[in-house]
Amino acid sequence: MGRFPKWKRALALFTVIATIKPSVNAKRNRYIVPGAPWYDTGGNVLSAHAGGIVEHDGKWYWFGQNERAEDKDLFSGINVYSSPDLLNWDFEGKALSSINGTVIGPDTVVERPKAVFNQETQTWVLWFHSDNSTYGLLRQGVATSPNITGPYAFQEVFSPLGGTSQDFGLFHDVDHDASYALYSNGDADAAHDNLISRMNSTFTGVEEVVYEFPDFDLEAPTMFFSGSRYYILMSHKTGYRPNNVVVFSAEKLAGPWSAQSYIATLGTRTFNSQSTMIISVKGSDQSTFLYCGDQWTTAKDLYLSTYVWLPMKFNDDTGALHVEWHDLYSIDVKTGSITVPQGTSYEAEHGEVTGLAYTTLCVIQGNGTLTISNIEGTGQPQWVSIYYHNPDGKCMLE
């Protein structure tokens, strides 16, 4: 035990955690494991990228981009999954499928789907970013269905308030039954702004910009309301490479909004993820808010991308917010509590390096083998988490 494969390339910080929690029933997920492939109840890898989550009648519904090896970043449908506990997900099928020869054809871009229920029309509305393959149109789109899982009927794509829209986030202010489109207005010279725009009463169009973050040049927006404060999270624009996601907070959506601050330990690039949605679990004991990000691979192999879901801690008096890393944890959606299994950490720096690999102040690099000895096992099946990070030559101490 404790012998690791040869490095493919210069590498990083390394931690091993062995947790004493054998899985009793392998078919049921008991933990959220940030960054690991996530299997649905049918045994298939969950494909719900850049997603959105809603709660309805005691169940959670996760909408996201279907990604296959052959898609190369283009539209092959929006998947929807349901779950009673946020851990185990049933595949409910395609919420929206591509339609040949239309603006949601298999040669187009349909991204960042988010669903919301409209009371007035008793209709589910599925919003998304709509584009052509070179991202030259920058529009929003909607599809509707009487049923949460669809299939959704495509309605239209449009330029919100005559403007452009890049990425897409949706915030349903349940307390005031209003919904907002969150988006950036693109990379043209006059753009680079981030907008919060109120939807009209049917939630099928945008009627007014409520706030604009001028020249902030961020993307991948997601928002939640804590009960007294609004928080909006956005990432920088670095393509599919992760960066340090920032948060702003305000008592009113129209502002004033706070200055921005980072949500995760600097240097981790938000634990290698980009913001997409926030899950608000209003439990009997506590409210828990999960940051949900995408751990993207490259545009060519998006289907290998995984999900990073982590609990957030924040302070409504100061607006400070940070995401806490856990190798694995469980959430009880009834009580809202988070349980983190305890384990033993082994630092890679204390391991034995052979071959061409060598250790410097805080990184292990080169092509070789790292052996960590004396890892204690229980004799039972148990979790082993391996955490590594590529700091691209920059040391990340602590």
Ligand X SMILES: *[C@@H]1O[C@H](CO)[C@@H](O)[C@H](O)[C@H]1NC(C)=O
Residue 148 gets the label, from left (phi > 0), alpha (psi -120 to 50) or beta, of: alpha
User: Among candidates 222, 240, 235, 123, which has minimal Cα distance to 182?
Assistant: 222
Site for ligand X in 205-244 (CB under 6 A): 205
Considering the rule CB under 6 A, would residue 5 count as an interface residue with ligand X?
Answer: no
Q: Which is nearer to ligand X, 43 or 136 (CB)?
A: 136
Per-residue contact string for residues 363-392; x = within reach of ligand X by CB under 6 A = ----x-------------------------
User: Among candidates 82, 74, 136, which has minimal Cα distance to 111?
Assistant: 74
What is the distance of C-alpha 88 from the center of its chain?
Answer: 17
Q: Which is nearer to ligand X, 8 or 176 (CB)?
A: 8
Q: Which is nearer to ligand X, 146 or 227 (CB)?
A: 146
How many angstroms separate the Cα of 271 from the Cα of each of 111, 243, 276, 290? 22, 9, 14, 14
Among 136, 214, 379, 393, binds ligand X (CB under 6 A): 136
How many angstroms separate the Cα of 386 from the Cα of each of 49, 121, 267, 339? 23, 49, 18, 19
Whole-number minimum distance, CB 303 to ligand X, in Å?
20
Considering the rule CB under 6 A, would residue 146 count as an interface residue with ligand X?
Answer: yes
Which window, 141-149, 170-178, 259-267, 283-291, contacts ligand X (CB under 6 A)?
141-149
- The token pair at 19 is 């947790």
How many binding residues for ligand X (CB under 6 A)?
17
Among 133, 318, 339, 378, binds ligand X (CB under 6 A): 133
Considering the rule CB under 6 A, would residue 82 count as an interface residue with ligand X?
Answer: no
Q: Which is nearer to ligand X, 73 or 332 (CB)?
A: 73
Residue nearest to ligand X as judged by C-beta position: 205
Q: Positive or negative CA dihedral for 139, 140, 144, 149?
A: positive
Whole-number minimum distance, CB 366 to ligand X, in Å?
9
Three-state secondary structure string covering 33-83: CCCCCCECCCCCECCCEEEEEEEECCEEEEEEECCCCCCCCCCCCEEEEEE
Q: Which is nearer to ligand X, 199 or 331 (CB)?
A: 199
Which window, 81-89, 197-205, 247-255, 373-381, contacts ligand X (CB under 6 A)?
197-205
358: enclosing H helix or E strand:
strand 358-359
Whole-number minimum distance, CB 370 to ligand X, in Å?
13
Within 8 A by CB and 6+ apart from 311, the residues are 288, 289, 290, 291, 323, 324, 326, 329, 331, 338
Among 44, 100, 122, 342, binds ligand X (CB under 6 A): 100
Whole-number minimum distance, CB 7 to ligand X, in Å?
8
Q: Which is nearer to ligand X, 191 or 384 (CB)?
A: 191
Integer Cα distance of 51 and 44 in angstroms:
17
What is the distance of C-alpha 339 from the center of its chain?
Answer: 20
Which window, 201-209, 264-272, 295-303, 319-327, contacts ligand X (CB under 6 A)?
201-209
Give the interface with ligand X as residue ranges (CB under 6 A).
6, 8, 100, 132-134, 136-137, 145-147, 200-202, 204-205, 367
